[in-house]
Amino acid sequence: MHRLLPTFTALTALTALALTTGCSSGPGAEAGAARPEGAAATSPAAEGSKAPPSTFWVDPDSPAARQVEEWRREGRERDAEALRRISERPMAIWPAGDDPASDVRAATEGAAKEGRTAVLVAYNIPHRDCGQHSAGGAGSAEAYRGWVDSFAEAIGDAPALVILEPDAIPHIVDGCTPQEYHADRYQLLSEAIQRFKRQPDVKVYLDAGNPGWITDPHKLSEPLRQAGVARADGFSLNVSNFQSDRTTKAYGHTLSAAVGGKHFVMDTSRNGRGPLAGDRQDAWCNPPGRGLGTPPTDRTDDPLLDAVLWIKRPGDSDGPCRGGPEAGQWWPDYALGLARNAKEA
């Protein structure tokens, strides 16, 4: 999943924007709007199992939860305790690309038993990730339509929040996805939004990348419209990336104004220390020294920000870079580093 980090100029501009937009703060958002960009405070995640208010489901059998138990059996109590900062938080489920139904049912049924909402990621668009670390996706438009239908049907009447196709729109904007695929992609995304919204209790957020990738949010407005964002509940930001809460919220407010006031959600799973310094091409891929960000909550005190979420599951690799396993595979050592470095963005 290719997400370039911003230049110093871009970050400075967005910081200035954040100071003028007057984004409010509250539980699950930034603790102090006046804190300078890059400054860090102790995250609620660092308080162990004390969770912020949230209606989202915690997977009791996540890789992090299993790792906690394994380390306890091995006598690694301190490491296990640190990893609880991940295992006891709600995280998104990324259903399989071949048959999503079983993963979706397991999540939605588990959430429904607890009166909570499952967070799900639909990530199987044809020509996904421009052939990079997360390349793949459905083999054809018809295969994708069938996959989306199976995904939506498996949700049934359960409450669910769906993040739709991370990177799909930004890869059109940055030119990585060839022009010949654009029309089909817009059509498939629009159809997917409509299909998911046929389920009675589903919210859909179409992905819009992150502030360090498409630095001018206005470049996303027309592509989002063509993909049917008007029929979605909003858009998602910072998925699998490291941009700070403040920068991401400022960007979200600007983009919202450009697409008719749509709401947004943002991924704070690994942004507690911000992005890796510098402007290197692969600074997004398993960067060292990063930390958990603001814990997930749907109580943001921001009228446009519906939720902060952990969409990228902390500890899942970005790809075979910096010693990591394949994209999406659990990497316990990296997860432990994120937990130990937990800070509020």
In DSSP notation, 270-282 reads SBTT-SPSS--TT
Residue tagged active-site, from 79, 129, 233, 267: 129
Residue tagged active-site, from 79, 167, 233, 245: 167
Each as own residue / partner, the long-range contacts of residues 137-144 (CB below 8 Å, 24 or more positions apart, any chain) are 137/97, 138/97, 141/184, 141/187, 141/188, 144/188, 144/192
Residue tagged active-site, from 59, 267, 316, 318: 318
Report the length, in residues, of the chain.
345
**Residue 129 is among the residues annotated as catalytic for this protein:** yes
> Computed from CA positions of residues 64, 69, 73, 75, in that sequence, does the dihedral angle turn out positive or negative?
positive
Element (DSSP H or E) covering residue 236: strand 234-237
CB atoms within 10 A of CB 255: 27
CA-nearest of 180, 188, 228 to 204 is: 228
**Residue 333 is among the residues annotated as catalytic for this protein:** no
**Residue 167 is among the residues annotated as catalytic for this protein:** yes
Give yes or no for a contact between 37 and 18, defined as CB atoms under 8 angstroms apart.
yes
Which of the residues are catalytic? Answer: 129, 167, 318
